[in-house]
Amino acid sequence: MSVTTEFLPGFDGAQLALRRLGSGRPVVLLHGLFSSAEMNWIKWGHAALLADAGFEVLMPDLRAHGESAAPHDPAAYPPDVLARDLAALIAQLGLTDYDLCGFSLGARTSVRGVIGGLTPRRLVLGGMGLEGLAGWTGRQGFFVDAIDRFDAVKHGDPAYLAVQFMKSMKVDRVAARLLLGAMADTDPALLAQITMPTLVVCGKQDRDNGSPDELVAALPNAELAVIPGTHMSCVTKPDLGEAIRDFLLR
């Protein structure tokens, strides 16, 4: 069983890379900010774990990430651009009965997609708290500042780790900055629309996106799974994939 790669158009025709692994029930996995399907899901074994459990694992690189298009035209980044790309991919893949899972930016994109009308059977939100949705603009400002000061950030600066990760992932900073500007806060009242069974899974030391407990409380049908690690390190541990697998197999 090996990972295959194909390219499908986003909502505006921009080419998006899609990784596939396994066969069976479809599960769409969305990676985090400045990451990729390879880094978030494949490298640490989560995709293989889900494929071995009987899932077809579908892993797009989000716009401006990985091998997907990273246009420099501001018109390519309208509000909710990632949710619009997600809806376009799901329509092209003909998915009607599927599960949806996102980590960090991928979780935020999943929430925006469901609010926009997507109807996965089950939803998994990784590395996310209520403030990461309702207070996104503060987090957004942190990353915009990191991009703007990219070459001046030194060890000990709060933005140092973000800049190092961007360097390791060879992030297109022009595209990433445009993408960040396309995101807005989510009114917590809109979370009432997310009625499917939802798992919020978060590292024990992870509060980068706020309180996962408050997010669970704001969702109509959610539960919390706490796994070892911080926002960055929990992705490297098998516990993340195992929590997703166990929830989706119910």
> What are the pLDDT digits (tens) for 8-40?
999 999 999 999 999 999 999 999 999 999 999
Cβ contacts of 174 within 8 Å, gap of 6 or more? 70, 72
- Over residues 46-58, the mean pLDDT reads 98
Nearest to 101 by CA among 186, 31, 1: 31
Q: Is the pLDDT of residue 1 over 90?
A: no
Segment 105-135, tens digit of pLDDT = 999 999 999 999 999 999 999 999 999 999 9
The yes-or-no verdict on residue 136 having pLDDT over 90 is: no
Domain-embedded: residue 158: no
Residue 235, pLDDT score: 98
Is there a domain that residue 166 lies in?
no
| 125 in any annotated domain | yes
Question: Considering its fold, how many domains does the chain have in total?
Answer: 1
Residue keyed to tokens 């995101």: 183
Residues 72-101: what's their mean pLDDT? Answer: 98
128 or 1: whose pLDDT is higher?
128
Residue 137 has pLDDT above 90, yes or no: no
Q: Report the CATH number that the domain containing residue 237 is assigned in CATH.
A: 3.40.50.1820
Determine the angle formed by the axes of helices 81-92 and 105-115, rounding to 10 degrees. Answer: 70
Give the least confident one: 74-78, 172-176, 182-186, 244-248.
Answer: 182-186
Domain that holds residue 28: 4-134+187-248
Assess whether pLDDT exceeds 90 at residue 139: no
Domain-located, residue 153: no
